[in-house]
Amino acid sequence: CRIQYHFGEFGNYSLVVKTLSTSTKTVSCDLVINEGPINSYLPILFAFLVYMGLFAILIIGHLSMKINPVRNWVYKTLNPRETDRLINSELGSPNAADSASSDPTPPLWSAAPRQRLRSLDTFRGLSLVIMVFVNYGGGKYWFFKHESWNGKLHLASSLFCRFVFIMGTSILLSLSSMLRWGSSKQKVLGKIVWRSFLLILLGIIVVNPNYCLGPLSWDTLRIPGVLQRLGVTYLVVAALELLFTKPGAESGTLETPCPALQDILPYWPQWICILTLEVIWLCLTFLLPVPGCPRGYLGPGGIGDFGSYPNCTGGAAGYIDRLLLGEKHIYQHPSSNVIYQTAMPYDPEGILGTINSIFMAFLGLQAGKILLFYRNQHKQILCRFVIWSIVMGMISAILTKCSKEEGFIPINKNLWSISYVTTTSCFAFILLSLMYYLVDVKRLWSGAPFFYPGMNSILVYIGHEVFENYFPFKWKMQDTQSHAEHLTQNLTATTLWVVISYLLYRRRIFWKI
């Protein structure tokens, strides 16, 4: 009996199988709907309309503030002293100091010249906001969850890697700025090491929350994590850039025999180091003998592969983590254990995958070099972003054979496979080029509201992790199976962090490490 049917959520169904002929062994299969399903996507539509309404109100308010009578009325209402200032101004005797101190704050969409590339902070902020929403539950929708193992790139699966990518871009611009202002390489290296140490330390504190359960047990301390991986990645990529940077690179005026490749050829030692790391990843992944597992195994273990390798979750990547860190010091509940019923712990931020996160950040560093060397050459920048996207996409197509399971190296977020990095970097280059065009070239968009979390990314990330289970970011729901309630709660929590980052921005409070 074979039948294909798209089952709706919360529907109740019966499958009626009848034997039509005992001699020919033919049967009929009928699906009976006992209770109709609900439309689980209506909450998304409603939330979209609410946010679009708020956006329209902001636009109308912004345009209204350009009308002098409306602007004056608003200022008089909000600030009674504004009346005196306006009267003095009309009499021709304004006080310069008072005028400067009482000038209205810059509008949300300002057309004033900007030195900082807002598209980078917007890119980072967009990735961070969606990451916060997904980590809070994503409304319990399947497409906001991480893939169990190999598979398509859901929205949730490409967020962290985009954050790593833009970190690489920021590394290049930050180091070039420090060197241009006369900082010595030794001093810059000290800052790199210190920042990496802080990221790793904060990461260990954040992923081991025992705020209400007493002292933290060192026996079960989880060592890997998101911030830990960011710290190690930052250390390696920033140190490589600092070590092999050329005179004139900080100003984007490096002389090379081939100007068309001035952002690549002078940095061949960096490329050799990165490619060497990738060779190490390939050798360890496909040649390292893992007890009880076939060489090069990339599967989830458990009941995957017909239960042939139940204790081989992650292959070499899982084995290295368990060997060097210990089973109790890595993530105990990987996304694979629900579908594949895995019994082995596996950490998606483990040691072996960090090699490919370094490669991802290095690709982001390459984007930064394009922005630096081709400053104000918008066409060159956009063309090079597109070329890099095409190259990464072609490599992904070869590695995966454009299939989910049949490729040489499948796309896998848990393993941070090389095909996962090339695929996500393909989309990262496209997204960055789009934001660069809209925000910094045409200035059709200021980057709001994502620009504000992007300016305080560490604070927002750590804050959303620490206060995840506290009101007003979470509360007891009436129906835990309701998408509407989950979506309301998750969107409210995410919006609160955007508002907090905006208020901090207005007060010029930025948490930098």
Rounded to whole angstroms, how far apart are CA atoms 420 and 314?
15
What is residue 250's predicted lDDT score, i.e. its pLDDT?
Answer: 54
Q: According to the model, what pLDDT value does residue 249 have?
A: 59
pLDDT given for residue 108 in this prediction: 37
CA distances from 83 to 69, 244, 400 (A): 13, 60, 67
Least confident of 136-140, 219-223, 278-282, 462-466: 219-223
453: preceding bond cis by omega (within 30 degrees): no
- Please give the average per-residue pLDDT across 353-368, as a whole number: 96
Smallest CA-to-CA distance from 126 within 445, 467, 347 is with 445
**Beta-carbon count within 10 A of 240 CB:** 22
DSSP 77: H
CA dist 176 to 256, 368, 503, Å? 18, 10, 30
What is the Cα–Cα distance from 432 to 364, expressed in whole angstroms? Answer: 10
Average pLDDT of the segment spanning 150-161: 78
Residue 101 has pLDDT above 90, yes or no: no
Highest-confidence range of 141-155, 328-342, 420-434, by mean pLDDT?
Answer: 420-434
Q: What is the pLDDT of residue 106?
A: 39
354: pLDDT confidence band, cut at 50, 70 and 90?
very high
Report the pLDDT value the prediction gives residue 26, as an integer from 0 to 100. Answer: 80
- Using pLDDT thresholds of 50, 70 and 90, give the confidence band for residue 99: very low
Average pLDDT over residues 336-346: 88
Residue 91 has pLDDT above 60, yes or no: no
Q: Give the residue from 125, 110, 175 showing the smallest Cα distance to 435.
A: 125
Least confident of 70-84, 138-152, 342-356, 456-470: 70-84
| Mean pLDDT (whole number) for 422-439 | 95
Confidence class for position 76, pLDDT limits 50, 70, 90: confident
pLDDT value of position 96: 36
Q: Confidence class of residue 5 from pLDDT cuts 50, 70 and 90?
A: confident
Task: Annotate 49-63 with b (16+ C-beta within 10 A) or e (fewer).
Answer: eeeeeeeeeeeeeee
How confident is residue 238, by pLDDT bands cut at 50, 70 and 90?
very high
Distance CA 449, CA 506 (A): 13
Confidence of residue 396 (pLDDT cuts 50, 70, 90): very high
The per-residue DSSP string of 465-503 comes to HHTTTSTTT----S-TT-HHHHHHHHHHHHHHHHHHHHH
Q: 261: how many CB neighbours lie within 10 A of its CB?
A: 10
Residue-level pLDDT at 183: 83
Q: Which stretch, 90-104, 241-255, 284-298, 336-350, has highest mean pLDDT? A: 284-298
Residues labelled catalytic: 146
Q: What's the start-to-end Cα distance of the chain, in Å?
A: 61
**Would the pLDDT of 90 be above 60?**
no
Whether the predicted pLDDT of 93 surpasses 70? no
Q: What is the pLDDT of residue 336?
A: 84
Domain boundaries, the chain: 12-38, 118-127+141-246+262-443
CA 489 to chain centre: 21
Average pLDDT, the chain: 86
pLDDT above 90 (res 59): no
pLDDT over 90 for what percent of the chain? Answer: 54
The CA distance from 293 to 300, in Å, is 12
pLDDT computed for residue 251 by the predictor: 56
272-281 contacts, C-beta under 8 A, 24 or more apart: 273/240, 274/240, 274/358, 274/359, 274/362, 277/355, 277/358, 277/359, 278/355, 278/356, 278/359, 278/418, 280/355, 281/352, 281/355, 281/356, 281/418
Alpha-helical segments (H) within 374-482: 378-400, 418-435, 451-455, 457-466
Q: What is the pTM of this model?
A: 0.85
- Residue 239 CB: number of other CB atoms within 10 A? 16
Residue 136 phi, psi (nearest 5): -80, -10
Predicted confidence at residue 248, as pLDDT, reads 62
Choose among 225, 226, 169, 146: nearest CA to 360. Answer: 169
Range with the poorest average pLDDT among 110-124, 299-313, 376-390, 443-457: 110-124
Output the pLDDT for position 80: 54
- CA–CA distance, 247 with 254 (Å, rounded to integer): 7
pLDDT (average), residues 473-491:
91
The Cα–Cα gap between 459 and 497 comes to 10
Tell me what pLDDT residue 81 has: 54
Give the HSE-up count for residue 51: Cα atoms under 13 Å, Cβ half-sphere.
12
Q: Are 254 and 373 in contact (CB under 8 A)?
A: yes
Cβ contacts of residue 269 below 8 Å, gap of 6+? 244
